[in-house]
Amino acid sequence: MSATTATAPAATLGTLLKKIEARTARVGIIGLGYVGLPLAVAFARAGFRVTGFEVDAERAELVNRGCSYIGDVTEAELKEQLQGQRLEATTDWSRLGAMDTISICVPTPLRKTKEPDLSYIIKAVEKVQATLRTGQLVVLESTTYPGTTEEVVLPMLAESGLKAGEDFFLSFSPERVDPGNASYQTVNIPKVVGGITAACGQATEALYSTGLKKILLVSNAQTAEMAKLLENTFRNVNIGLVNEMALLCRELGVNVWEVIDAAASKPFGFMKFQPGPGLGGHCIPIDPVYLSWKARAHGFEPRLIEVAQQVNSRMPEHVVSRVAEALNQNGKPLRNARIHVLGVAYKKDVNDMRESPALDVMHHLLKKGAQVCYSDPHVAALHEPGLEFRAEPLSRLKEADCAVLITDHSDFDYAQIVRDARLIVDTRNALRAHSGPHIFGL
């Protein structure tokens, strides 16, 4: 090995590290959604000049006007970074070549066949590939199956003739965003980082440690990918357990919420999870499917994971059954009944509709001939396949035959709901302080 070849990687890495330390590195973020926009603001706050790349021109324009569409980013902090000329958004992908670091924060949904859909990642990597140059750091943040960074992203970037770990740097660092969580946001959630090589991990750790409080560098990208899937599969399986417990307790005539509270009094060996109408959000319903798909590709049957998926996916149907039972006890069939859904976001106090169980509940109600409307202080209108609705005021609750509480938003007037609703199916135990024969549990 010649002296030039031996020193080139160290020189390339050293140059990038110096740029990061001096805050002269240009930071690029692909995708300005729930993950990308908070990350862009965090890096801008740390003193970098940040450029967000968007396929959605309207979204890019909103960012450049200082209009936040993400609940975890206030317009005040967005405008602060814009005014300091540390943040901008663009649809000009040719500018990727000027970036020293590029974080890819794009969606990773499922296909109708329940297989991973990497099309957004592939399109983003193609954009990076077109302008890839020596000294750049590329970090994939989008949740995906173990091996994606090395098996999909790396070969695409290597087509440039540049070598990962020497000419450019490639890592995986899973997003851990929890929309609406005031205590834990992008800056103070520990950040897991895994590089294709040690140099890749070192460069990524250096970058993220500038704007985030705690970095955990693991041995490789696949470990980081697997850690992300374990986190959300853990939650999926435990939610499946308490959902099944809720079904069993109802058969036995036992209050599942009291059972959970009693079990949670144990100071060790128990972690409290809550049953509900189903799973929502981008991560918990989807990540275990990515993991199961990868496991089966290796001839491994992930039985526990798949059983939990089955239990959770059936909860919306169970909710509809409870609505039908409540109506039947009051001498009314579900067909043509007026059902008022309370809360359609996937979790409380956010406007995020991704994979919301409320959508499945509404679809099932409509299929059974019910008339459906909804109220949600965070979602003004629904534009989903088969579900075109505008939110109704809570005053319309008096007209409904039954209300079904799906999302327990803090700004719902629960006293009014109890007073005005003829019947209520409460899937979140939000009405635990109230009692009455017209209130039905999960």
Q: Which domains does the chain have, with CATH numbers?
A: 3-219 (3.40.50.720), 240-440 (3.40.50.720)
Residues with pLDDT less than 50, the chain: 1-8
Q: Are 177 and 186 in contact (CB under 8 A)?
A: yes
pLDDT of residue 2: 36
pLDDT of residue 60: 97
Choice among 105, 283, 373, 402 that is catalytic: 283
Report pLDDT digits (tens) over 114-161.
888 999 999 999 999 999 999 999 999 999 999 999 999 999 999 999
Cα-Cα-Cα-Cα torsion 402, 408, 409, 412, nearest 10 degrees, comes to: 40
pLDDT of residue 111: 85
Report pLDDT digits (tens) over 167-184.
999 999 999 988 888 888
Q: Are 164 and 8 in contact (CB under 8 A)?
A: no
CB within 8 Å of 412: residues ≥ 6 apart: 342, 343, 377, 394, 430
Q: What are the tokens at 13?
A: 């890495």
What is the rounded average pLDDT for all residues in the chain? 94
Is 283 a catalytic site residue?
A: yes
pLDDT of residue 22: 97
Query: What letter represents residue 138's amino acid?
Result: V
